[in-house]
Amino acid sequence: MKKEAGKNAPLTSRFPFSLALADKHRFVVTLELVPGREASGRSVDTVTSIARDAFADGRISAVSITDNPGGNPSLSPDVLGHDIFEIGMDVIVHFTCRDMNRIGMESRALQLAMMGMKNILALGGDYSGKGFGGQGAPVFDLDSVQLQIMLGLLSERINASGDPDTFFTGCAVSPFKRTEAECYAQYAKLCRKAAAGAQFAITQLGYDAEKFKELLQITKVMGIHLPLLGSVYVLRPKVAALIHGGNVPGAVVTDALLERVQKEWKDPASGREAAIERAARLCAVLKGLGYAGVHIGGVHRSFDIAGRILDRFALIEDQWPDFLQDFDFPQPAGFYAFSRELDEGAPHALFGQSPPKINFVERLRYGLLRRAHDTFFDATHPLGPVYRKGARLIDTMPGGRRLMYLVEDIPKRALLHCQKCGDCAVQHVGFLCPESQCPKHIRNGACGGSRNGRCEVFPDRPCVWVRAYRRLVRGNKTREITEGCVPPRMWELNNTSAWLNFHLQRDHQGSSNELSRRCRMIGCRL
């Protein structure tokens, strides 16, 4: 979209990020910028200066602006992104589900569209951190799959109003997971994001070339054709230690890599050169493997570091096979979805070959809940008409709803820690409750923040999607967490009977709203 001339108008015309990514002969480079907590001053000037220099350099297709990274308050990516957009640099706005409900998110999306910033990286977001007066209340009213659908529907409205430029939406994926269950959950979620409308994907940060290969291979298995951008970072000791300690959800720095980085930085000048060389080599490896581009992070003071990385990359890109050994940092006992002796023509994923053991209580609960669901809450069951007639009768009886609610509450609280949402989704999560068991209330797959199978927010307990996979893989039912899409929770049903709502088609399974209809149209496979 062209802008009128002004004091911040570009000297040359903008080449949109979406067109750059569509060009099969172009290796796309994007640059991540992180706003500070100030509304003006040095931090804002620095970010703007980096963007201006990136635009002048000409090798950066877009800069991305983070949205309250770590869940902590910072300058809005919308206002800062707009200033950068006016310079001439194309912008990718990070859009998280953490801080707004669905009304606020739709309003924000319309605002971005009006400002012309339609490149969106749709994210669940890190859990809420410290804000004014203490920790903020996490929202997570939609998850990142549902957000993709919302942005797609808004794009249709934008088109209908006469604007040909729709949202160009991307997603994140974290291939650097150690356990089989986490890997499956990540790729299942990516599958759903792609089916929901994502048009590109950016990886989390890691230094394992086999995992970068794995992501390319799994997209072939899933039959999706998303352009992939691999994350590249200027790795300094402090950040490496934070990632190693699990303080950057989804990113991985192993013991061996941390030790190497700390050794390199004993002399700061040598360390800086080593960081630039590592970043340039990773760019070369990613291009050689077949990635559509790279997403460079860790550039905070000036564009100079990014420029030096790209200069070095241009000199060494043809040598990429020699650099594969530089990115051999596997996690201890880490799972890989494909054999290293892979037949490139017919990749076959290794999921489910050794189903994990689960304890007796877990098996008993799962079996009981599945049998109850298949008997009483399957719309195709022969007794379905009888259940619906009974539900209508109870629903119209004086005190019937209250009685049903009490009868339902006792077993569900005991078996599921039920939160009384009235719009039950346990059948989509291996008969585990996403409201009580996931701090982000995600209904469409794991977030990227789990570590060694443990929850990002509560590391003392396993991720609910890891538990779901372990339950389902034993019965060869893992397709249940890849097929289709689950609509968002219906808040109007809060504190009502989910059993009545199901049989009377009042819950998300019977809903006819636009988002629910689109969700049911989505197909996905892994």
Q: Residue 91 above 60 pLDDT?
A: yes
**What is Dmax (Cα atoms) for the chain?**
79
Rounded to whole angstroms, how far apart are CA atoms 216 and 407? 49
Which residue, among 154, 175, 181, has the nearest Cα to 165 in the 3D structure? 154
Supply 60's token pair: 């950066």
Q: What percent of the chain has pLDDT over 70?
A: 96
State the pLDDT confidence band at 344, using cuts at 50, 70 and 90: low
Rounded to whole angstroms, how far apart are CA atoms 177 and 185? 10
State the pLDDT confidence band at 362, using cuts at 50, 70 and 90: very high
Mean pLDDT of 492-502: 94
pLDDT in tens, 146-201: 999 999 999 999 999 999 999 999 999 999 999 999 999 999 999 999 999 999 99
Mean pLDDT of 96-111: 96
Q: What is the pLDDT of residue 346?
A: 56
Q: Residue 309 above 60 pLDDT?
A: yes
Q: Residue 343 above 60 pLDDT?
A: no
Q: Residue 7 above 50 pLDDT?
A: no
Most confident of 156-160, 313-317, 484-488: 313-317
Torsion region of 15: left, alpha or beta (phi above 0 gives left; psi -120 to 50 gives alpha): beta
Most confident of 321-330, 470-479, 509-518: 321-330
pLDDT in tens, 207-260: 999 999 999 999 999 988 999 999 999 999 999 999 999 999 999 999 999 999
Supply 322's token pair: 């020699």
Supply 295's token pair: 């997403």
Question: In which element (H, E) is residue 95 found?
Answer: strand 91-96
Q: Residue 11 above 70 pLDDT?
A: no
Q: What is the pLDDT of residue 10?
A: 39
Supply 62's token pair: 């877009």
What's the alpha-carbon Rg for the chain, to the nearest Å? 24
Q: What is the pLDDT of residue 22?
A: 94
State the pLDDT confidence band at 2, using cuts at 50, 70 and 90: very low
Rounded to whole angstroms, how far apart are CA atoms 198 and 522? 12
Which residue, among 449, 175, 186, 171, has the nearest Cα to 286 in the 3D structure? 175
CB 33 within 8 A of CB 51: yes
Question: Do strands 134-135 and 130-131 pair parallel, antiparallel, or not at all (unpaired)?
Answer: antiparallel
Q: What is the pLDDT of residue 41?
A: 77
User: What domains does the chain contain, in order, with CATH numbers?
Assistant: 17-173 (3.20.20.220), 360-521 (no CATH)
